[in-house]
Amino acid sequence: MLDGSTVRSGLSRELDYSLADQAEHLHRVAHIAHILNDQGIIAICSFISPDEAIRNQVKEIIGKDRFILVYMDEDIEYCKSNKSELYELAEQGKISNIPGVDIDYELPQKPKYVLKHTNIREKITNLS
């Protein structure tokens, strides 16, 4: 399991939240996922990917046959409760370029799965 906050605390610690650094952050994760896949390990990655262009770049790096996009369909209030430290920094003006705060989030065009936190256990059970 690769999570944005965890990766930012190590592998991407020197990156900020500029659009270029966000793209670099996701590219790094995509390469890690690709390497893990090559070793037979399934990588579950939990990241904010705010636009279709970056999602397509990640898909190309990982491999179209290995990449499965799961969209968490949640409102901004859920996002704030889930990643409170990130959204608090954004609301304090310490970071910018956060979807739902000061930039838009582009909905995925063709996610394989759409989940809500209220039905996630049911959906995960049905993935097999």
Tell me the catalytic residues: 49
Spatial contact of 78 and 100, defined as CB atoms under 8 Å apart:
no
What span, in angstroms and rounded, lies between the C-alpha atoms of 22 and 77? 22
Give the burial class of 41: count Cβ atoms within 10 A of its Cβ; 0-12 exposed, 13-18 middle, 19 or more buried: exposed
Taken in order 82, 105, 109, 64, is the CA torsion positive or negative?
negative
